[in-house]
Structure 1
Amino acid sequence: MKSLVVCSLIGLVLLMAAGQVRAECDEAKSPEDSEFKHFFKNLGCKVNQGAKEVAEAAKPYTDKIGEGAKEFGSSVAQKYDELKHKLTDEPSTTPKIPVAYDAPTEKVLLAPIGGPSTPIP
């Protein structure tokens, strides 16, 4: 899911940059450009076009995921509200009786920390 979001964001950035790159892609190779520069301009144009195609192909899936996330979020919120009202609106069925602790407590002798005082032969 995270990778889909990241890919979508990258595609969006590439689409925004497409307006600037498109003018460079439509131009023919200028005489002052070296082969190295022309190669990377051409490569950038191809990557940009591929990113546009991927963004268009992924759009139905991203829309479907977005709708599913909205439905899931609203159903979770609705269930939370129902449970919250159920717990706060209904009176407790168990009677609240104060408990008195009047029973005597026992004293228990503790064992010495050092262990037995006589050595074991």
Structure 2
Amino acid sequence: MKSRIIFCALLCLALLNGQARAADCDEAKNPEDSDFKHFFKSISCKVKQGAEDVADAAKPYTDKIGEGAKELGSSVVEKYKELKHRLTDDASTPKSTLVAQVDAPTERVPLAPIAPTVPAEIMGNAQPIAG
């Protein structure tokens, strides 16, 4: 929504600026203008006209996109309200508590040793590795 407002404001500024320069585009080359200045004036007029043509051609598409966005937004709001009402209705109904009480003692399982223990008789027969 904010982007549409910003876009409309920029479009209005561009149109107001374009109306001031429209007189420059309609006029022939002033004798006091240099060729350099006249070249850029004609380029800016052509770019402005092209931008207006693109804006006119894109208007139906932007209108369809805007309508689709409004429909999507309203459907999301409706779904949100339905969900919100369903959750608040569910919260107001009393729930049965199904908490299982465990009265039996729990078993203790011994943990495995971290490092394997080697029997002393194997360690006594161990021969160093010569390298």
Q: TM-score, normalised by structure 2?
A: 0.71
Alignment of 1:66-85 (within 5 A): 66-85=66-85
Aligned length: 112
Query: TM-score by structure 1 length?
Result: 0.76
Contact kept, 8 Å, 1:29 with 1:38, in 2: the verdict is yes
Q: Which residue of 1 aligns with 2:22?
A: 22
In structure 2, runs of 5+ residues without a counterpart are 127-131
| 1:102 counterpart residue number | 103
Q: Is the 8 A contact 1:25 1:42 kept in 2?
A: yes
Compute the displacement of 1:36 (Å): 1.7
Structure 1 residue ranges (4+ consecutive) displaced by more than 4 angstroms after TM superposition: none
The answer for unaligned runs of 5 or more in structure 1 is none
| 1:58 correspondence with 2:58 | yes
Q: Secondary structure at the match of 1:29?
A: coil
Amino acid at match of 1:21: R
Query: Displacement, 1:43?
Result: 0.6
Q: CA RMSD in A?
A: 2.6
Counterpart in the other structure of 2:113: 112
1:43-102: CA deviations, max 9, x gaps? 10011011111111111111111111111110111011112212221436x622333232
Identical aligned pairs, as a percentage? Answer: 60
**Bigger RCO (CA 8 Å, 6+ sep):** 1
